[in-house]
Amino acid sequence: MGIVGVAGRARGRFAAVAAGGAVALVLAGCTDPGGPPDGADDVARGAVGVQLFQWTWPAVARECTDVLGPAGYDYVLTSPAQEHILGEPWWTAYQPVSYQVESRLGSRAEFAAMITTCAEAGVGVVADAVVNHMTGQDGSGIGWVGSAFEHYDYPGSYADADGDFHHCGLTGSDDIENYQDREQVQRCELVNLADLATETDHVRATIGAYLADLLSLGVAGFRIDAAKHIPAEDVTAITDALPDGTVVWSEVIRGAGEPVQPEEYTAAGQVFEFGFATQLDTAMTTNRGGQFEDLASGAGLLGTTEAVTFVDNHDTERNGTTLSYRADERYALANVFLLAVPYGLPVVYSGYAFSSLDGRDTGPAQDDGGAVLDARCSEAAGPDADVRNQGWLCQHRWPQIVPMVAFRSAVAGTELVDWWDEGSALAFGRGDRGFVVINLDADAVKGTWQTSLAAGDYCDVQTGALVDGACSGAVVTVEEGGTFTASVPAGSSLAIHVDAVPGS
C-alpha cells in the first residue's frame, strides 16, 4: 500500500502562524491551565509519535509534509539539536559542546524551518535534549561549529571552578560502577561524560535557557536524555519552569531491583516505559499468545497516561535488550501490537541499518565534511527490503505499521475487549470500534472471532486502505452478533476499524 492512499485523521493540534517575520507554534488544546501535562489528553485521543533517528532537519520537514501528517502521526522526535563533538559515530550527537542550535543534522535556520513545516502538516516536534552531561573526552577539543572546550570547561556555559560538575569520588574512575547505588547513578559519570551538577541554580538556569530557546523556535517539547542519571527533583525543577503544555518525555530505564525507577519521574511529565519494550520482546520471541494480555493493559508498569511506549529505540536496537528491525516480520507485528493496544503513548522507531557484529557505533551516512546526508526511503520499505549498511530503514513507512496509526485514532478512548489467544496467535477488540488478529505462527490461522463491532463490511487495513470509498485490500464481513471468519497468513495480521468501511 502506498503512502498516498492513506487518509490521515483530522488535524488542528499544531498550526504554524506567522507574526512579524517570526513563527509561533500554536498548541491548540495542549495547554493545561491547571499545571504540566500528564499525558492523558494525548493517550485519550490516540496520539502517535515517531522517532526519526539521525534524520537531518530538511529531511524531517519533507517527511512531515509527505508522510507523517497524511498518515496521522502527531509527533516527530528528532535527534539532539545542539553543537556536539566531532566524529563519525552516532553517539557524537549525545556529547554536547555548547547549546548553539547547530549540528551535523543542520543549521538553526533549518531547524526552525523544519518546525514550521511540520506544524503546517499537523505534526509537533519533540526535541531530544541532552542535559545530564557534556563531553566524554579527557583532552581539549573543538565542536561542530568551532567552540573550544575542555572536559570540564565550556566557555559561556560551564566551568569546573564554578562548581558546575560532579566529581563523585565514589569509584576509582568517578564512573558509575554499581547501578544498585543511587548516589553513583546520579552523581558519578556515565562512561566518562562530564556530569552536570543539576542541583545548582546556575546549571538549572543554563539548561532552562537552552530549552526556552528551543521553545521559542516552536518545539512542542522534549525528550530528557539520561534522565535516570539526574535526580527526579532536579528534572522536575527544570521542567516546572517550562510553559504549561510543554511535552516532557523522560528517559528512565527500568532495572529490576534498582533504586532509581521511572515512577519517580512522572511529576515532570511522561516517562519511557522500557518494561513494556522488554516484555514485548520476550512475548514476541517465545511466540506465546497468552503472554500478551497483561502487557496490553500495562499491568505492573507505569499508568497508561504516564507511559511512553515503544518497540525499540536507538540504544536498545544496539544493546539487544529489545527487538530490532533484524527480527523482520516479528518486529513488524510487535509494532502492530504497540499501536493496537490502549496502553501508553506509542512512539514508532525509525533508524538506519548497521552491522550487528562490529558496527554498533556506526553513524548515519555522512559527506566528506561530516554532515549527515538526507534520509531517503525506498518505495519498497518494509521488513523484506534489502537495506545496505547505513541505509535508511524507514520503519514508520512499513505497510504493516502505517495503517495502525489511523487504527489507533479510530479506536481512541475505547477499552480492550473480546480477548482471544491460542497457541501463537492472539486477537482482541477495542470497544465497538476496531479489532485485530496477530498471527505469530509459521502457519496460517483460520478462525471465527467474536467482536463488539456492528454488523457490516470492513476493510482489512493490513492488506489495503479505504480509497475513494472502496477497500483496496481484503473485505471482512462482520455478521449479526459480531462474529467474522477469516484466514490470517503466517507472520501477518488483520485489522479492521469503523473509519475504514466501504461505501463511506
DSSP labels for 53-79?
A: TT--HHHHHHHIIIIIHHHT--EEEEP
Containing H/E element for 476? strand 475-478
Residue-range domain boundaries for the chain: 3-410, 416-497
pLDDT in tens, 157-180: 999 999 999 999 999 999 999 999
Q: How far apart are CA 65 and CA 220, in angstroms?
A: 17
- Catalytic annotation, pick one of 251, 281, 317, 499: 251
Q: How far apart are CA 326 and CA 239, in angstroms?
A: 36
Mean pLDDT in the chain? 92
Active site residue 63: no
pLDDT score, position 289:
76
Q: Which three cell numbers stand for residue 53?
A: 533517528
pLDDT in tens, 191-239: 999 999 999 999 999 999 999 999 999 999 999 999 999 999 999 999 9
Q: Do residues 250 and 235 touch, judged by C-beta distance below 8 A?
A: yes
- Catalytic annotation, pick one of 195, 225, 273, 499: 225
pLDDT score, position 14:
54
Predicted confidence band at 483 (pLDDT cuts at 50, 70, 90)? very high
Nearest to 127 by CA among 103, 146, 144, 157: 103
The single-letter code of the amino acid at 2 is G
Mean pLDDT of 19-41: 41
pLDDT score, position 356:
83
Q: Which one is predicted more confidently, 214 or 2?
A: 214
Class of domain 416-497: mainly beta
pLDDT in tens, 335-385: 999 999 999 999 999 999 999 878 899 999 999 999 999 999 999 999 999
> What are the C-alpha distances in Å from 219 to residues 5, 111, 299, 418, 426?
29, 10, 32, 40, 39
Look up the pTM and report it: 0.93
30, pLDDT greater than 50: no
Q: Do residues 45 and 9 touch, judged by C-beta distance below 8 A?
A: no
Q: Name the fold adopted by 3-410.
A: TIM Barrel (3.20.20)
Predicted confidence band at 11 (pLDDT cuts at 50, 70, 90)? very low
Active site residue 251: yes
Tell me how crowded residue 358 is: count the other CB atoms within 10 A of its CB: 8
Mean pLDDT of 133-150: 97
4, pLDDT greater than 70: no
